[in-house]
């Protein structure tokens, strides 16, 4: 087991990474200290991993809330189901919510934990690559609005993260690739060596080679932990973690949260952001081409069909990085160096988007 620390003074917590961690009942029991535990999961993950998790909680008062799978269920309705379960079982302020699943489960369960009795314990147990490298770490919790992604939520850190890499064996290939989009993002914004390593080892990652996956998860968590420790509530550099996301979130809304997985939309968005960076003269053409090639080689889309640039721009104006009515974007100086800046002039931005759209 490898552990990475998120350093937040008295609220610091570990990210445990390794194969078979869910089967380690002692680790689960040690990590989840509360006597009352609500496990939130979904109808895909529950049959696979709920029993193993609960074996480590055998001496606790445990309730389970099973949500339907999918981004379209990351809503206030699901949030209410979790809170209803906490109330119905008379869970107290010293209880703990354990989020067993991917990013949707982690985000909505985290938001419920942040809200119930003004905040109860939270442990993240991510079972997808995207959740293990990104959404389970850093304390962003939310549900979607029909017109804007992650518009309702709170910053709320977990007490710990248990990332069992063995769960990736049951992940559908499309979801594995979607998680790789976030790993690519870390290389682009902060670590050129990671990006080069991904270019060399993308086949091993797609083939689920355990050591390659462990290294990718560890390095991704190290980068995110360092950024979150510096800027927990996104007043500065934490915005870099949203590279490609402003474009991607607009695609998700336009696709009604069903057409593209989050990582797929982000992948297209990263290429759009690279286009804008190149058009501004920051990113050279060779590096822009490397970015698109790696995204393709990861099994991810680089173009979207049936989307209008003006519709994209309209939804991007709802992005949470808008400040004083000014849209800001995360762009690239070069591979490994992201920066936050006001969006380029409309014609340039429209072209950066249009180049990745198909009729």
Tell me the pLDDT tens digit for each residue of 184-233: 999 999 999 999 999 999 999 999 999 999 999 999 999 999 999 999 99
For the segment 326-343, the average pLDDT, to the nearest whole number, is: 95
- Is 238 one of the annotated active-site residues of the chain? yes
- Is 324 one of the annotated active-site residues of the chain? no
Q: Which of 224, 315, 320, 328 is catalytic?
A: 224
Q: Which of 118, 235, 305, 324 is catalytic?
A: 118
Check pLDDT > 70 for residue 60: yes
Three-state SS letters, the chain? CEEEEECCHHHCEEEEEECCHHHCHHHHHHHCCCCEEEEEEECCCHHHHHHHHHHCCCCCEEEEEEECCCHHHCCHHHHHHHHHHHHHCCCCCCCEEEEEECHHHHHHHHHHHHHHHHCCEEEEEECCHHHHHHHCCCCEEEEEECCEEEEEEEECCCCEEEEEHHHHHHCCHHHHHHHHHHHHHHHHHHCHHHHHHHHHHHHHHHCCCHHHHHHHHHHHHHHHHHHHHHCCCCCCHHHHHHCCHHHHHHHHHHCCCCCCCHHHHHHHHHHHHHHHHHHCCCCCHHHHHHHHHHHHHCCCCCCEECCCHHHHHHHHCCCCCCECCECEEEEEEECCEEEEEECCCHHHHHHHHHCCEEC
Quote the CATH superfamily of domain 173-358: Dehydroquinate synthase-like - alpha domain (1.20.1090.10)
Kindly report whether the global pTM for this prediction surpasses the value 0.85.
yes
For the segment 255-274, the average pLDDT, to the nearest whole number, is: 97
Segment 140-194, tens digit of pLDDT: 999 999 999 999 999 999 999 999 999 999 999 999 999 999 999 999 999 999 9
Please name the fold of domain 2-170: Rossmann fold (3.40.50)
Q: State the span(s) of the chain assigned CATH 1.20.1090.10.
A: 173-358
- Is 224 one of the annotated active-site residues of the chain? yes
Q: Which of 245, 288, 315, 328 is catalytic?
A: 245
| pLDDT above 90 coverage of the chain, percent | 96
Segment 86-112, tens digit of pLDDT: 999 999 999 999 999 999 999 999 999
């Amino acid at each position: 087991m490898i552990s990475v620390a998120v350093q937040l003074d008295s609220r610091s917590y570990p990210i445990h990474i390794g194969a078979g961690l869910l089967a380690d009942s002692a680790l689960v029991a040690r990590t989840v200290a509360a006597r009352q535990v609500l496990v939130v999961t979904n109808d895909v993950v529950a049959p696979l991993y709920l029993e193993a998790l609960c074996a480590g909680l055998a001496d606790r008062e445990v309730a389970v809330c099973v949500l339907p799978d999918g981004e379209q269920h990351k809503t206030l309705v699901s949030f209410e189901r979790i809170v209803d379960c906490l109330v119905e079982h008379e869970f107290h302020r010293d209880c703990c919510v354990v989020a067993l699943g991917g990013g949707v489960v982690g985000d909505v369960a985290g938001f419920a934990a942040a809200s119930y009795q003004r905040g109860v314990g939270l442990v993240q147990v991510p079972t997808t690559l995207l959740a293990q490298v990104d959404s389970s770490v850093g304390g962003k919790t939310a549900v979607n609005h029909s017109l804007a992604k992650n518009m309702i939520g709170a910053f709320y850190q977990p007490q710990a993260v248990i990332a069992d890499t063995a769960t990736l064996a049951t992940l559908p290939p499309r979801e594995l690739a979607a998680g790789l989009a976030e790993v690519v993002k870390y290389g682009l914004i902060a670590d050129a060596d990671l990006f080069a390593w991904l270019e060399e080892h993308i086949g091993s990652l797609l083939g689920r080679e355990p050591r390659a996956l462990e290294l990718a998860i560890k390095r991704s968590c190290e980068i995110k932990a360092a950024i979150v420790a510096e800027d927990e509530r996104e007043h500065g550099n934490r915005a870099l973690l949203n590279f490609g996301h402003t474009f991607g979130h607009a695609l998700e809304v336009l696709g009604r949260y069903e057409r593209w997985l989050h990582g797929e939309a982000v992948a297209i968005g990263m290429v759009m952001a690279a286009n804008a960076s190149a058009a501004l003269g920051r990113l050279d053409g060779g590096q822009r081409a490397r970015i698109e090639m790696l995204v393709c080689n990861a099994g991810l889309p680089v173009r979207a069909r049936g989307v209008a640039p003006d519709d994209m721009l309209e939804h991007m104006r709802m992005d949470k990085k808008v400040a004083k009515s000014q849209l800001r974007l995360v762009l690239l100086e070069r591979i490994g160096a992201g920066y936050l800046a006001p969006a380029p002039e409309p014609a340039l931005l429209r072209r950066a988007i249009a180049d990745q759209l198909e009729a």
